[in-house]
Chains A and B, each alone.
Chain A
């Protein structure tokens, strides 16, 4: 399925209705055919990941509420957008997440406790991208990572790792960002560089309708999916709460990028059911009716409905719930045990080569702390 043929200009691709019933229309026919070909094993793996992520997310939120985390960034509601896209990736692809992509990062091998350690104030990073499925560290500066993903993809192209036809070699990067980020200059510059250099990067926009308290209508009076088209980047919009649409569109987009034809863009329309972060109060800016309308379109319920229609049993689904609960229980146990790192680490990674000012200040603090300890024991 080629990108241009598969990306109608005005349609939102949807394959599952709010009950999880498969819907086929003239407009989604190509996607429907691709979705039917998804093996049950993949459908179950994606569902499992969504269920685990939601349990993890709720448990982490509760840990913040009990003072165990400084902040939490909830992912509830965006599981299908995240899981569908990350399942389209291959091992050699590289991921540049934003900070809400818990389903993405964990699918690529990031440990739940590594995410927790960020929000407990123990690290600015948390994991080694080389050991975690090429998952890079997110940045909190909105949209900055789109340029990093684009530059990385430019490097893939320079290395000749696109368009060879070898499924183990051809690679792409994928970058996650939100509707607020689309207003940033960096995101628009990323479109320019990606298009100019035919970089194999997939721009995966999760339009969750709110940039903290500001609705997407303030970011753009025109559909966000129309923007990259003006930069020469093929774009497609999907129902981001539909795991089949999210996955099939991401397969098309990543295949396009790896083939050497240049960047691709997917807008996944979804909704942030929770607050922006644990410090936010969404009741101040959005209504109950809007929230309720999106709760009815819950991505996990729709996936479950579809799986049941394919004969998946209660017992199989209960296994996923149990696994999610085990992850939740594990972080509840282990989070309070995480202690502050030794003070030296704040000096250790600033530079990669020796730096006299850093060495001097590390030495000063060590001596000062030793003195203080001595004084308190005296």
Chain B
């Protein structure tokens, strides 16, 4: 086979198992396939669930999250929409008023902004205008974050904007198991959910428990126990924190890692309990730090655990700059070394 043939070996066929829930009850899957299986399960369970987005049908989405679903469920339930984000979200609101449960894919984080008004002024506020029996069960899936070396607008972390908006729920899984279960819970919710998918975690594999793996999505998870410093983050940052905790352990420091899972609302108690135990908190996030989720965590932890703190909560964030060019992204995104630098500062107080 020539190089050209390899480069252009495109196929319209889906990969085996795409669009289906695996038969093995505890498969090992990448997050991308876990999401695919979760969407398939939700569509199977409720025929009012519709998928809408750009290139999600025949192509299966640019990240192949919806692969095989149009073949299985048809093009009225998996809609390749016109290229217009506000149009997608606005028409999804109308479909939801009609009784459907639209699940929207925004192709990349930086492309959500043309739909921002429909999300913040309409989707988020409409329940507040309507009688109790009417709801807007819409999920907006947004692949977000860096680490993929992409061009501008393809690596942003916009979760703060949505967390700041009353009427929305915002969640972000960090593992394939959470991705499988949380997408189904988000779809079943009566409230609009912004579902932030850490795209750099689409490919690493993890075990999914298709039977007993469900943990409610608005629940903070302790991913690793430790005693001296609490490390908290969400999405892709959880893997970075786990790596930092490994290195710290080798250097004799015991870190507890807390996976937020839900950004709005935040399930505070497991995090506060961890900080009461360790007395130290390092918050890591890819988003710019100024007025961010990390800011809210720092403020709340200071308010509620003040007398048990051994050091002020410290933040490790993306800089307050537009997401840099891909050759410099490694300097912008918090890595284990930057987390450990903050751990050292926390221990030095």
Interface residues in chain A, defined as those with a beta carbon under 8 Å from any beta carbon in chain B: 124-125, 128-130, 136-137, 139, 141, 144, 146-156, 158-159, 173, 185-186, 189-190, 192-193, 196, 348-353, 355-357
A-B contact pairs, 28 of them (CB 8 A): A124-B129, A125-B131, A130-B133, A137-B126, A139-B122, A141-B117, A141-B121, A144-B118, A144-B122, A147-B87, A151-B90, A151-B95, A151-B97, A151-B98, A156-B98, A158-B100, A159-B98, A186-B86, A189-B82, A189-B87, A192-B82, A193-B81, A348-B132, A349-B130, A351-B169, A352-B191, A356-B265, A357-B264
List, in ascending order, chain A residues with CB within 8 A of B114's CB: 185
The 8 closest A-B pairs by CB, nearest first: A151-B94, A147-B90, A155-B98, A151-B91, A189-B87, A152-B94, A352-B190, A125-B129
Are B95 and A152 in contact (CB-based, < 8 A)?
yes
Are A353 and B190 in contact (CB-based, < 8 A)?
yes
Contact A147 to B86, CB < 8 A, known contacts A349-B127, A350-B128: yes
Are B90 and A189 in contact (CB-based, < 8 A)?
yes
The listed residue (A144, A196, A351, A352) touching B90 by CB distance below 8 A is: A144
Whole-angstrom distance between the Cβ of A74 and the nearest chain B Cβ: 22
Residues of B4-19 whose CB lies within 8 A of A: none
Are A148 and B131 in contact (CB-based, < 8 A)?
no
Whole-angstrom distance between the Cβ of A157 and the nearest chain B Cβ: 9
Are A147 and B93 in contact (CB-based, < 8 A)?
yes
Query: In the complex, what residue of chain B is closest to A199 when comparing beta carbons?
Result: B91
Question: How many chain-B residues does the 8 Å CB contact rule pick out?
Answer: 43
List, in ascending order, chain B residues with CB within 8 A of A125's CB: 128-131
Residue B31 CB within 8 A of the other chain = no
List, in ascending order, chain A residues with CB within 8 A of B93's CB: 147-148, 151
Contact A351 to B117, CB < 8 A, known contacts A147-B90, A186-B86: no
List, in ascending order, chain A residues with CB within 8 A of B98's CB: 151-152, 155-156, 159
0/1 interface trace, chain B 77-97, chain A, CB 8 Å (1 if under): 000011010110111111111
Query: In the complex, what residue of chain A is closest to B81 when comparing beta carbons?
Result: A193
List, in ascending order, chain A residues with CB within 8 A of B189's CB: 353
Whole-angstrom distance between the Cβ of A153 and the nearest chain B Cβ: 7
Give the docked Cα–Cα distance between A30 and B135 (Å): 43
19 more A-B residue pairs beyond the given contacts A148-B90, A151-B96, A351-B191, with a C-beta to C-beta distance below 8 A: A124-B128, A124-B129, A136-B97, A137-B129, A141-B122, A144-B117, A147-B118, A151-B91, A151-B98, A155-B100, A189-B86, A190-B87, A190-B91, A196-B82, A349-B129, A351-B169, A356-B267, A357-B264, A357-B265
Query: In the complex, what residue of chain B is closest to A349 when comparing beta carbons?
Result: B128
List, in ascending order, chain A residues with CB within 8 A of B95's CB: 151-152, 154-155, 158
Give the docked Cα–Cα distance between A348 and B167 (Å): 11
List, in ascending order, chain A residues with CB within 8 A of B81's CB: 193
Residue B134 CB within 8 A of the other chain = yes
Residue B213 CB within 8 A of the other chain = no
Are B94 and A154 in contact (CB-based, < 8 A)?
yes
Give the docked Cα–Cα distance between A124 and B86 (Å): 23
Give the docked Cα–Cα distance between A146 and B87 (Å): 10
Are A154 and B191 in contact (CB-based, < 8 A)?
no
Residue B76 CB within 8 A of the other chain = yes
Give the docked Cα–Cα distance between A232 and B100 (Å): 27
Whole-angstrom distance between the Cβ of A158 and the nearest chain B Cβ: 6
Are B87 and A149 in contact (CB-based, < 8 A)?
no
Give the docked Cα–Cα distance between A355 and B218 (Å): 10
Residue B149 CB within 8 A of the other chain = no
Residue B25 CB within 8 A of the other chain = no
Q: How many A-B residue pairs have CB under 8 A?
A: 129
Interface residues in chain B, defined as those with a beta carbon under 8 Å from any beta carbon in chain A: 76, 81-82, 84, 86-87, 89-100, 114, 117-118, 121-122, 125-135, 166-167, 169, 189-191, 264-265, 267
Whole-angstrom distance between the Cβ of A161 and the nearest chain B Cβ: 10
Give the docked Cα–Cα distance between A55 and B208 (Å): 66
Whole-angstrom distance between the Cβ of B37 and the nearest chain A Cβ: 25
Are B94 and A147 in contact (CB-based, < 8 A)?
yes
Whole-angstrom distance between the Cβ of A295 and the nearest chain B Cβ: 35
List, in ascending order, chain A residues with CB within 8 A of B99's CB: 155
Give the docked Cα–Cα distance between A130 and B118 (Å): 23
Are A154 and B118 in contact (CB-based, < 8 A)?
no
Are B134 and A129 in contact (CB-based, < 8 A)?
yes
List, in ascending order, chain B residues with CB within 8 A of A352's CB: 127, 132, 135, 190-191
Give the docked Cα–Cα distance between A350 and B127 (Å): 6
Are A355 and B90 in contact (CB-based, < 8 A)?
no
List, in ascending order, chain B residues with CB within 8 A of A190's CB: 87, 90-91
List, in ascending order, chain A residues with CB within 8 A of B89's CB: 147
List, in ascending order, chain A residues with CB within 8 A of B122's CB: 139, 141, 144, 148
Give the docked Cα–Cα distance between A153 and B95 (Å): 8
Are B94 and A149 in contact (CB-based, < 8 A)?
yes
Whole-angstrom distance between the Cβ of A152 and the nearest chain B Cβ: 4
List, in ascending order, chain B residues with CB within 8 A of A192's CB: 82, 84, 87
Query: In the complex, what residue of chain B is closest to A352 when comparing beta carbons?
Result: B190
Give the docked Cα–Cα distance between A155 and B98 (Å): 6
Are B94 and A148 in contact (CB-based, < 8 A)?
yes
Are B129 and A193 in contact (CB-based, < 8 A)?
no
Are A186 and B90 in contact (CB-based, < 8 A)?
yes
List, in ascending order, chain A residues with CB within 8 A of B117's CB: 141, 144, 186
Whole-angstrom distance between the Cβ of B123 and the nearest chain A Cβ: 10
List, in ascending order, chain A residues with CB within 8 A of B132's CB: 348-349, 352
Are B130 and A137 in contact (CB-based, < 8 A)?
yes
Are A351 and B127 in contact (CB-based, < 8 A)?
yes
Give the docked Cα–Cα distance between A147 and B97 (Å): 12
List, in ascending order, chain B residues with CB within 8 A of A185's CB: 86, 114
Whole-angstrom distance between the Cβ of B190 and the nearest chain A Cβ: 4
Whole-angstrom distance between the Cβ of B304 and the nearest chain A Cβ: 12
Are A193 and B76 in contact (CB-based, < 8 A)?
no
Give the docked Cα–Cα distance between A154 and B95 (Å): 7
List, in ascending order, chain A residues with CB within 8 A of B128's CB: 124-125, 349-350
Query: In the complex, what residue of chain A is closest to B79 when comparing beta carbons?
Result: A197
| Highest count of chain A CB atoms <10 Å: which of B87, B89, B127, B167 | B87
Give the docked Cα–Cα distance between A151 and B166 (Å): 23
Give the docked Cα–Cα distance between A149 and B125 (Å): 17
List, in ascending order, chain A residues with CB within 8 A of B84's CB: 189, 192-193
Query: In the complex, what residue of chain B is closest to A141 when comparing beta carbons?
Result: B121
Give the docked Cα–Cα distance between A151 and B97 (Å): 9
